[in-house]
Chain A
Amino acid sequence: ATKAAGKPATRPNRWKSVIGLEVHAQIQTNSKLFSGAEVAFSSPINSCVSLFDASIPGTLPVLNRKCVELGVRTALALGCKVNSVSMFDRKHYFYADLPAGYQITQQRAPLARGGLLSFPVFVPGVSRKPYYKSARLHQLQLEQDSGKSLHDPVERKSLVDLNRAGVPLMELVFEPDLETGEEAAALVKELILILTRLGSCSCRMEEGALRVDANISVHKENTPLGTRTEVKNIGSVRAVAQAIEFEIERQIGILDGGGKIFNETRAWDAAGRQTIAMRDKEVVQDYRFMPEPNLPPLHVNVDGECDADVVVDAVHIGSSLPELPEETRRQIVEIHNLTPEMAIILVNDITLYNHFRTILDEPGKARSPKAVANFLINELLTILNKNKIDIEECRIPSTHLAEVTDMLEGNIINAYLARLIVQEALDGEGRESPALLAQRNDWLMITDTERIEAMCKDAIKNNPKVVEKYRKGKEKMLYALAGEIAKVSEQKVDMAKSVDLLKNMLK
């Protein structure tokens, strides 16, 4: 389903890779899916556990309406058909962090089915051009998260924390429509943008709020699909790309060597940069699914009017969806006349995009979108990279960034000075305004013509050999002189201006 030019890398020996993703996203609510216990990451161990979460006999599940609403919101944003009736099922397996011995999930009739997610695939600095890819969403279901087990092999102890047990999850099952690790990473990236805008998931992968399982197989063109492996619980967007690429290479290596791929579950070892077989998952499980008898069928209003006190109203939710990232990109390209690459970079980072919007939308100011985007992408991101700081951690407010772009546009500073100012602002945690910083450090362009003329004279006087060469016809030498001036002035003289002056003086 590749839409635009720019194809994924071709594999050796005509191998084709096929990838399908399953994403578990914790629904952003205050309480759990079926109990009133609080949902709060990094709370003290076992402090957010209701009787139901600990599966105390006699307790019953009560569905959290907010979870349904956010599930429906997500489903609609992803183009799914929301089922007017969905159901809950029990999935049985024994594990210490699954107190009831079963997970309540939606196996037979999920909340929604049949969506589509289109997303740009573009890695700045790696891809030459962005292209679009689509993956069909098979279904979106609500289910409970499990608790967490900690094993101490030395003390021979297992500890269980049930804070996460019963936290609401949306499981999104995508069709195997992808071909590369980068495409998978791009899908996850786009999903994160969408869920964040919807407010349905915090998407903090480092907290486990969004987890990715990838099904991967390889086969030769015009032959049936190969045996797939599943890499479970991949914990970051970059790891999605890396784990999948590793697994594809591993499978191709085995098959080229005459080996066989086994249907197995593997884990991504981020430190060792490899996938490893998970031993405890070798046996094929029969989950003995059964309808959850304690929860009546879940009714959602999908057309017409309804009593919103009684059922969740998908019609209303559908009419109040926020702008989605693809629409934002389209507007950036069409209204602001920026390149698709710029649009992708800006939209890919919510904080960056928020700066962009705030700076552009400031009342009474008409700023050039291109200048603002250039500054944010080429200057700000570069400095943050150099400092190894995430943009979310950058404390410089949008108003200050706007000031820098204004100074740049007004030729009060140049790109070099802009970087000095931003660095200083970063160190000062954005307390002082950039104008003040520039003033105090004298990081302003020299505009006084007499001063520049004096510098030109000095340059001519101190570089007789260069002047001589110029006079003999080597025009380029003028730039060498201008370079000297730049050095002396600490980049504060406009190069074009000094070249002009030098030209006149040396006539």
Chain B
Amino acid sequence: MNRRLPLKLKELSECFRTQTLDPVSATEQILQLANRLQHLNAFIRTSPEKALAQAEKSSTRHKTGKPLSLLDGAPIAVKDNFCTKGIHTTCAARMLENFVPTYNATVYERLARNGAILVGKTNMDQYGMGSGTVDSIFGPTKNYWDAVEGESDFRIAGGSSGGSAVAVASGICFAALGSDTGGSTRNPASYCGVVGFKPTYGLLSRYGLIPLVNSMDVPGILTRTVDDCLAVFNAIAGPDDRDSTTIKTFFKPISLPDASKICLKGLKVGIPIEYHCEGLSDEVLTTWTKVADMLEDAGASVHPVSLPYTSASIFVYSILNQCEVASNMARYDGIEFGHRSDEDASTEQLYAKSRAEGFNGVVKNRILSGNFFLLRKNYDKYFEKALKVRRLIANDFDRAFQEVDILLTPTTLSDAPRYSEFIQSNNRDQCAVQDFCTQPANMGGIPALSLPIRLSEQRLPISLQLMAPNFSEKRLFKVAKWIEEQVKFETNYN
């Protein structure tokens, strides 16, 4: 039996309800598919026994007519930087290669309580430091749209949540959790042709997310459709006592009208001129213009706006990222958990050797520069100054959102690059190009969503990004759903 599973969560749930499909057999199919697509390297580890056990329970619930939610029985994947109880959580780094958490990250815990079935943990750049899913001790992840088994060159998946994006694009999962610090959810979503959503900072709990930059990290959601993305978001958003930076007020689930009933009359759409930047491909530019026109035709007004500090974002990010990385990585000393070297002549040597062996060059580089920026004599010059510029970037958004309701921009500057080209430049330059359009949203904490629009001449996805003011998720989803309905990207999945 190898029947295709439906495309959308709602359809899947309906199949379960009418018992035309059973969660156990669906999970079995999914696990077979994951096996067949192993060459994509989307997963660091699948957890078939646990998945089937969850599916059994889901099956019972559906049989008794008591599913927990729309997600009950839905196969999902989780990026390998979210702690999962009893399942390895490696951050794709040697340091955590053998780390098995004893607790669940809140966002995964909530998915599990909604009946979702964990297929496995997805590949990523070490600790999330990258934008290609190429810096993993488990090897790079290949883009679903162009990967030919056995070929040495391929299109990158984007990153750092590339494994999650491929897991969804390839049909293995209906939804996946990623994380987004500078674009790590939206970037691979853009290259892989899936919806990639980064909510307002503070709406999703970071408890159990192994941090990269605490002040910018947000769990991200990857799905094939806007509705699915919203369903997952509704299931996991809201305050968490274990994360003091979550918004304390009760989260009211968002509901959207049918796409046909969404009206854009009066909506003010901003086109930030600074995002028309060097390196922007013609195809992306055309796509951007076309969608803007589409919105205007539907009664929205389109306005050029300026976000003058956009280009400073990458520099600010580089400093703040490295400082927090230097600090967050201090705990990896081989004492309580993680990689421990055999060298134990002294505590200091044990530390030094464990860290030398456990971290890759990118991580070490960031630790060194971060510590440099935090030195007493440098703190004001770098860290403090970066915080001030971060404020200016956030102010840019505040000002723009006084004029417009939503911003429309590219997510990435082109379709997915070839692996061979991508690795020509170093990690820092890769991030500088890849994060240009996505990074500022993390500075401002604002919600942003990458939406697949069409295929390029190379038959690779091209996506655009929507950004809205803090806590305006509903507006973001509404506009995204309207565009989705117009461009019908999902037909590319058939």
A contact residues vs B (CB 8 Å cutoff): 51, 54-63, 90, 92, 94, 96, 99-102, 158, 160, 286, 288-290, 293-296
A290 and B323 contacting across the interface, CB-CB below 8 Å: yes
Q: Are A51 and B103 within 8 A (Cβ)?
A: yes
Min C-beta distance of A272 to chain B, whole Å: 27
Q: Given that A94-B333, A101-B333, A288-B371 are contacting pairs, would A60 and B215 also be in contact in the complex, using a CB cutoff of 8 Å?
A: no
Residues of B near A290 (CB, < 8 A) are 323-324, 327, 374, 383
CA A62 to CA B376, docked complex, whole Å = 28
Residues of A within 8 Å of B348, CB to CB, are 94
> In the complex, which residues 341-368 of chain B have their Cβ closer than 8 Å to any Cβ of chain A?
347-348, 351
Report if B242 contacts A (CB, 8 A): yes
**Pairwise interchain contact B245-A57, C-beta atoms closer than 8 A:** no
18 A-B pairs whose Cβ atoms sit less than 8 Å apart in the complex: A51-B103, A56-B102, A57-B83, A57-B91, A58-B82, A58-B207, A58-B209, A58-B211, A99-B331, A99-B335, A102-B330, A286-B376, A288-B327, A289-B374, A293-B213, A294-B206, A294-B214, A294-B244
For B245, give its contact among A90, A102, A158, A294 (CB under 8 Å): A294
Give, as a whole number of angstroms, the nearest-CB distance from A438 to chain B.
62
Contacts of A54 in B (CB 8 A): 336-337
Residue of B nearest to A95 (CB): B347
Give complex CA distance A62, B99 in Å: 24
Which chain A residue has the least Cβ–Cβ distance from B376? A286
Known contacts A58-B83, A286-B375, A289-B374; A100 and B330 CB within 8 A of each other: yes
Which of the residues B101, B207, B241, B336 comes within 8 Å of A55, measured between beta carbons? Answer: B336
CB distance from B393 to the nearest CB of A (A): 17
Shortest CB–CB separation between residue A377 and chain B, in angstroms? 51
Kindly state the separation between the CA atoms of A295 and B245 in the bound complex, as whole angstroms: 6
Q: Which of A59, A62, A96 contacts B241 (CB 8 A)?
A: A62
Residue B120 at the chain A interface, CB threshold 8 Å? no
Q: Does B74 contact A (CB under 8 A)?
A: no
**Given A58-B207, A63-B244, A160:B323 Cβ within 8 A:** no
- Cβ–Cβ < 8 Å partners of B211 in chain A: 57-58
Task: For B396, list chain A residues within 8 Å (CB).
Answer: none
Q: Which residues in A have their C-beta under 8 angstroms from that of B213?
A: 293
In the complex, the 5 A-B pairs of residues with the closest C-beta atoms, listed nearest first: A101-B330, A288-B374, A293-B214, A293-B215, A55-B331
B contact residues around A96 at 8 Å (CB): 333, 335, 347
Q: What would 11 more interface pairs be, CB under 8 Å, given A92-B374, A288-B374?
A: A54-B336, A56-B103, A57-B91, A57-B210, A57-B337, A58-B101, A60-B243, A62-B242, A62-B244, A99-B331, A294-B245
B95 CB → nearest A CB, Å: 9
Chain A residues positioned under 8 Å from B351 (CB to CB): 94
Inter-chain contact A56/B336, CB cutoff 8 Å = yes
With A55-B336, A158-B347 as contacts: A61 and B244 at CB distance below 8 Å: yes
A92, B330: Cβ atoms closer than 8 Å: yes
Q: Which residues of B have CB within 8 Å of A286?
A: 375-376
What's the minimum C-beta distance from B299 to chain A, rounded to whole angstroms?
41
Q: How far is the CB of A290 from chain B (nearest CB, A)?
A: 6
B455: which A residues are within 8 A, CB to CB? none
User: Pick the contact of B208 from A58, A160, A289 — CB < 8 Å?
Assistant: A58
Q: Which of A57, A102, A160 sits near B327, CB closer than 8 Å?
A: A102
Main secondary structure on B side of the interface with A? loop
**A208 vs B379: C-alpha distance when bound (angstroms):** 34
**Binary A-proximity of B316-327 (CB < 8 A = 1, otherwise 0):** 000000011011
The answer, yes or no, to whether B147 is at the interface (CB within 8 Å) is no
Q: B83: which A residues are within 8 A, CB to CB?
A: 57-58
How far is the CB of B363 from the nearest CB of chain A, in Å? 14
B96 within 8 A of A: yes
Whether the pair A57, B333 counts as a contact (CB closer than 8 A) is no
Let me know if B105 and A58 touch, CB within 8 A: yes
Nearest B residue to A92 via CB reads B330
**Which residues of B sit under 8 angstroms from A296, Cβ to Cβ?**
244-245
Which residues from 100 to 155 on chain B have a C-beta closer than 8 Å to any C-beta of chain A? Answer: 101-103, 105
CB distance from B80 to the nearest CB of A (A): 12
Docked CA distance A286–B373 (Å) = 12
Of B243, B326, B327, the most chain A CB neighbours within 10 A belong to B327
CA distance A55 to B329 in the complex (A): 11
- Complex interface: chain A residues within 8 A of B347 (CB): 96, 158
Residues of B within 8 A of A293 (CB): 213-215, 245, 324
CB distance from B316 to the nearest CB of A (A): 15
Taking a contact as CB atoms under 8 Å apart, the answer to whether B242 and A60 are in contact is yes
A-chain residues with CB within 8 Å of residue B379 when the two chains form the complex = 289
Pick the residue among A101, A158, A160, A289 that contacts B331 (CB under 8 A): A101
What's the Cα separation between A293 and B320 when bound, in Å?
Answer: 11
* Nearest CB of B to A97, in Å: 9
Which residues of chain A are near B105, meaning CB under 8 Å?
58
Q: How far is the CA of A96 from the CA of B333 in the complex (A)?
A: 9
| Interfacial chain A residues near B323, Cβ < 8 Å | 290
Instruction: Determine the chain B residues whose CB is within 8 A of the CB of A55 once the complex forms.
Output: 331, 336
In the complex, A294→B327 CA distance in Å?
Answer: 12
CB–CB A288/B375 < 8 A: yes
Given contacts A56-B337, A61-B244, A294-B245, contact A92 B327 (CB under 8 A): yes
Distance of A52 from chain B, by nearest CB (Å): 9
- Which residues of A have CB within 8 Å of B241? 62
Residue of A nearest to B324 (CB): A293
Does A57 lie within 8 Å of B96, measured CB to CB? yes
Tell me the bound Cα distance from A410 to B347 in angstroms: 70
| A residues in contact with B243, CB < 8 Å | 60, 294
Which chain A residues lie closer than 8 Å to B329 at the CB level?
Answer: 101
Cβ contact of A90, chosen from B89, B208, B327, B376, cutoff 8 A = B327
| B 210-232 contacts with A by CB, 8 A | 210-211, 213-215
Among A92, A288, A296, find the residue whose CB has the most chain B CB atoms closer than 10 A. A288
Q: Contact: B210 with A58, CB < 8 Å? A: yes
- Chain A residues with CB under 8 A of B215: 293
Report B328 CB to chain A, min CB distance, Å: 9
A60 touches B206 (CB 8 A): yes
Residues of chain A contacted by B244 (CB below 8 angstroms): 60-63, 294-296
Q: How far is the CA of A374 from the CA of B437 in the complex (A)?
A: 82
CB distance from A87 to the nearest CB of B (A): 13
In Å, the complex CA distance between A101 and B335 comes to 11
Instruction: Flag B287-322 by CB within 8 Å of A: 1 or 0 each.
Output: 000000000000000000000000000000000000
A290 to B213, CA, bound (A): 13
How far does the Cβ of A9 sit from chain B's closest Cβ, in whole Å? 39
Closest B residue to A52 using CB positions: B242
Partner of A57, one of B331, B371, B383: B331
CA distance A54 to B211 in the complex (A): 16
CA distance A99 to B330 in the complex (A): 9
The CA of A62 and the CA of B136, in the complex, are separated in Å by 32
**What residue in chain A is nearest B99 (Cβ atoms)?**
A57
CB-CB under 8 A from A92, the residues of chain B are 327, 330, 374
Q: How far is the CA of A476 from the CA of B71 in the complex (A)?
A: 107
Identify which of residues 364-416 in chain B touch chain A, using a CB-to-CB cut-off of 8 Å.
371, 374-376, 379, 383
Which residue of B207, B333, B337 is within 8 Å of A60 (Cβ)?
Answer: B207
**Distance A55 CA – B96 CA, assembled complex (angstroms):** 14
Hey, which chain B residues are within 8 Å of A289, CB to CB?
A: 374, 376, 379
- Can you name the residue of chain A whose Cβ is closest to the Cβ of B387? A291
Closest chain B residue to A49, Cβ basis: B336
Complex Cα distance A60/B205, Å?
A: 10
What distance in Å separates the Cβ of A242 from its nearest Cβ neighbour in chain B? 32
State how many angstroms separate the Cβ of B454 from the closest Cβ of chain A. Answer: 38
On chain B, the residues within 8 Å of A101 by CB distance are 327, 329-331, 333
A160: which B residues are within 8 A, CB to CB?
Answer: 335
Query: CA A90 – CA B375 in complex, angstroms?
Result: 13
* Smallest CB gap from B352: residue in A: A94
A102 to B324, CA, bound (A): 12
Residues of A within 8 A of B82 (CB): 58
Please name the residue on chain B nearest to A295 by beta carbon.
B244
Question: Which residues from B are CB-within-8-Å of A102?
Answer: 327, 330
Given contacts A288-B375, A290-B327, A293-B215, contact A59 B336 (CB under 8 A): no
Q: How far is the CA of A81 from the CA of B69 in the complex (A)?
A: 52
